[in-house]
Amino acid sequence: MGNLKDTAAIALVDCNNFYVSSERAFNPKLAGIPVVVLSNNDGCVISRSNEAKAFIPMGAPLFQYEKVLEENEAEIFSSNYELYGDMSDRVMNSLQSFTPEVEIYSIDEAFLGLQETQKGFDYIGKEIQEKIFKWTNIPVGVGIAETKTLAKIANRIAKKSDKAKGVLDLYKSPYQDIALDRTAIGDVWGIGRASIKKLETINIKTALQFRDADLRWVKKNFTVVGGRTLLELRGVRCLPLELEPPPKESITCSRSFGELVTEYKPLQMAMSCYLMNAVEKMRHHRLAARSLTVFIETNKFQLDSFYANSYTYKSAYPTDNLFELQHWASESIKKIYRENFAYKKAGVILSGLILSESTTARLYEQPNPKHERLNKAIDEINKKFGKGTVHLAIAHMGKWQMKRERMSPRYTTRLDEIMKIH
């Protein structure tokens, strides 16, 4: 956890319509027109430009709204997670130039610890906004206040206010009461749906009303979490910055197939691809796994022929060796595969994670030393030339792979897809 004794304020930096903004960063023609990004297998709308929000709800199924999108001349993109992940890294790395106290909260959000300067926090917020856009072409909103919860509210208002223009400083501001009064209780970070209904029945409908409620009553009726949220609204810092995120407990990689899979070989190929992705994430965090779980399932809406199963391979010796884990996965999928089924989804879970440097020596079956050198070589090549440049022979893309018919190039991670200027 971060030490915030010397940190005056907390800022929340949030990328605007992040997936859409990542697409626009490399395609100026998309500026000012409706743009949407779709979920896995081009299913539903998961990101919308402001222009598209006027006529498309979040989560809208493409097959129901495709005509509406065409009528409004909207641009439609399949999800390009490799591009979005890299753009996120660029934004987060850029934030490090403003302060070492950065908590990456999600792919498009980060909390920052800010020190007081003669320039003032509003100036700092605008400087962050301008430089992030200059360096990454991603627009961001910045909310600044004494606590994370207040910073969330400031950020929300900053994005909607024409006057704020994306930056709002509520740190010890005389306008805090106005901001809280204009914030519905349902828009307060940490207040769930059940709590919203309960609060509205006693006429607490705004953040201001909740802040001014009796603390003992809130703790009694909404547990410690509710009391902590109330104190945060009063400017009492209860949620510290997590400068070093806790180690992952598990890593999952799963996808629904673009086409149903009926044969063992393509199912094994898909599993190997998911395994490589999971192992790459695990090795990036310098972790090793004690167990590996493989799961498969058919279409859950076809109950008369539904089949789902999983198998967990456990070992006394944690490993980050791709080739050893591939053996675990192959043995696992053999045990759960059944013929005469059309599979819709599969996945891999690496669990029992520990730091790879903490692994103990083995009494028997020492790992092949050549494998470790090969693992490192694969990591370095894929980092330099793009994900999947080197992969297991069996991890070959096929018809099972996720449907992404409208995907843009992976401009920043694939040499063969880099932007070309003619």
pLDDT tens per residue across span 173-202: 999 999 999 999 999 998 988 899 999 999
CA distances from 328 to 164, 251, 314 (A): 55, 16, 9
Return the minimum-mean-pLDDT range out of 142-146, 236-240, 258-262.
258-262
Contact 256, 40 (CB under 8 A): yes
Q: Classify strands 45-48 and 35-38 as parallel, antiparallel or unpaired.
A: antiparallel
Residues 6+ apart with CB under 8 A from 235: 145, 146, 147, 150, 172
DSSP state of 389: S
Q: What is the dihedral of CA 216, 222, 226, 231, to 10 degrees?
A: -10
Q: May I ask the CATH architecture of the domain 250-385?
A: 2-Layer Sandwich (3.30)
Instruction: Express each pLDDT in 281-332 by its tens digit.
Output: 999 889 999 999 999 999 988 877 899 999 999 988 899 999 999 999 999 9
Q: Are the CB atoms for 325 and 319 separated by under 8 Å?
A: yes
At residue 57, what are phi and psi to the nearest 5 degrees? -75, 155
* Strand order through the sheet with 75-77: 45-48, 35-38, 75-77
- Angle at the Cα of 414 from the Cα atoms of 275 and 13, rounded to 5 degrees: 85
Characterize 7-35 residue by residue with b for buried, 16 or more Cβ atoms within 10 angstroms of its Cβ, and e for exposed: bebbbbbbbbbbbbbbbbbeeeebeeebb
Strand partners, 75: 35
Q: State residue 3's pLDDT score.
A: 45
Look at the alpha carbons of 111, 114, 120, 124 in this order and tell me if their dihedral is positive or negative: negative
**Cα–Cα dist 95/99, whole Å:** 7
pLDDT surpasses 50 at 1: no
3-state SS, residue 253: strand
Place of tokens 């609204």: 233
- The pLDDT of residue 2 is 42
Q: Is 297 helix (H, G, I), strand (E, B) or coil?
A: strand
* 11-66 confidence digits (pLDDT tens): 999 999 999 999 999 999 999 999 999 998 898 999 999 999 999 999 999 999 99
Candidates 293, 292, 294, 316; CA nearest to 365 is 316
pLDDT band (50, 70, 90) for residue 5 = very low
